[in-house]
Amino acid sequence: MKLKTLLTAAALSGLTLLSASASAFSLFGSDDDTLKLGYLVKQPEEPWFQTEWSFAEKAAKDKGFEVIKMAVPDGEKTLNAIDTLAASGAKGFVICTPDPKLGPAIMAKAKSYDLKVVTVDDQFLNAKGQPMTDVPLVMMAASQIGYRQGQELIKEMQHRSWDQATTGVMAITADELDTARRRVDGAIKAIEESGFPVAQVHRVPTKTNDIPGALDAANSLLVQYPTVKQWLVVGMNDNTVLGGVRATEGQGFTAKNVIGIGINGVDAVNELAKSKATGFYGSLLPSPDVHGYKSIESLYDWVEDGVQPKKFVEVTDVVLITRDNYKAELAKKGL
Ligand code: GLA
């Protein structure tokens, strides 16, 4: 366990070093005439964001600019990153903020340096807690993709002919993040519309948006419902659902009596590749490639040609990947 923790820590610090050295190279090692644009993400350990980065780099190659990739896990690092970007001569950045409430502070700092901003995945909130709709945003169709998650869970439950009366829904929530709230609400809507009993749908909030946070939340829920024989696991992304599935395993559940379907797809690859099936049945794969490419491409067009980006680009494509088709589906998207 300790070794595993160490290895994970080493992998993560390696990642940070990698992006730090990439930035250092961008700051000091390149031709000053090349346009520089930042791409700041809250959780660089998620393959989702690594995929966005790599497609932002593809756009950079196609258009001839340079991407400065930065990890911004908290508010302080975010504001410092903007200082660093400005010092490097960058003209703008794409950001998935670690906290939507940082929106006004991020915009104030960006404006002070005359940097243009495009948001991706998570929308900024103003001081009143309302979405900052004037800042361009590229995001997935959260309610719709959540709804599909619910539909697929019910479909698989029916396919297995489970007794609905002894089945429970574990919905791990993160309501302070709008996209997460909309995904989970969408999933629950589909589940309830199918006729699944409302009283058997149980919500539990996670403290952090990662596997350990979701595992803790799920554990606290499982002890309250010891008579449930089969679980359907809902959460806003793969890590949340993986945490839920790990908790069910701790209580003796297996692939036979748990169906978890995540969202992100690229974060589920290791799980789906396991030699033995787990309760994590599959994941909805949206388009991190499109998010990464489009967001920075629109920033480039704005900086370079004065083309105002669309205020809202909603990405709706989604495909269910399971152990059977994940390799082919990822390959189709060049992932
Ligand atoms: C949020 C989640 C990520 C990913 C993106 C996709 O930021 O935290 O895991 O799902 O949305 O838009």
pLDDT in tens, 206-238: 999 999 999 999 999 999 999 999 999 999 999
The pLDDT of residue 24 is above 60? no
| Residue listed under structure tokens 């991706």 | 120
Q: Residues lining ligand 1, CB < 6 A?
A: 46, 48, 96, 121-122, 139-140, 179, 209, 237, 263-264
Question: If you measure from the C-alpha of residue 37 to the centroid of ligand 1, how many angstroms do you get, rounded to a whole number?
Answer: 21
Is the per-residue pLDDT at 7 higher than 50? no
Cα(236) to ligand 1 centroid in Å equals: 8
160 pLDDT above the threshold of 90? yes
Helix, strand, coil content of the chain in percent (nearest 5): 50, 20, 30
Cα–Cα dist 239/245, whole Å: 10
pLDDT of residue 304 exceeding 90, the answer is yes
Whether the predicted pLDDT of 17 surpasses 70: no
Cα atoms found within 13 Å of the Cα of residue 146, Cβ hemisphere only? 23
pLDDT range class, residue 3, cuts 50, 70, 90: very low
pLDDT tops 50 at residue 5:
no
pLDDT tens string 71-110 = 999 999 999 999 999 999 999 999 999 999 999 999 999 9
pLDDT band at 324 (very low <50, low <70, confident <90, very high): very high
229 Cα–ligand 1 center, Å: 31
Question: Of 32 and 185, which is predicted with more confidence?
Answer: 185
Q: Relative to the CA of 140, which ligand 1 atom is closest?
A: 12
**Above 70 in pLDDT, residue 201?**
yes
- The pLDDT-based confidence of 310 (bands split at 50, 70, 90) is very high
Cα(34) to centroid of ligand 1, in Å?
A: 30
Residue 19, pLDDT above cutoff 70? no
Compute the average pLDDT of residues 55-59.
Answer: 98
> What is the residue with the minimal CA distance to atom 12 of ligand 1?
121
- Which residue has its alpha carbon closest to ligand 1 atom 2? 237
Q: Which residue has the CA at smallest separation from atom 9 of ligand 1?
A: 237
pTM for the model stands at 0.91
Q: Look-up: residue for tokens 């992304």?
A: 237
Q: 25: pLDDT confidence band, cut at 50, 70 and 90?
A: very low
Query: Among the residues of the chain, which ranges form H helices?
Result: 2-28, 47-63, 75-88, 103-112, 142-159, 178-193, 211-222, 238-250, 269-272, 288-305, 326-332
Inter-axis angle of helices 142-159 and 178-193, nearest 10: 40
Q: Which atom of ligand 1 sits closest to the CA of residue 121?
A: 12
Residue 33: per-residue pLDDT: 86
User: What was the pLDDT predicted at 30?
Assistant: 52
Contacts of 329 (CB under 8 A, 6+ apart): 265, 285, 319, 321
First to last CA, the chain: 30
Average model confidence (pLDDT) for the chain?
92
For position 58, what pLDDT does the model report? 98
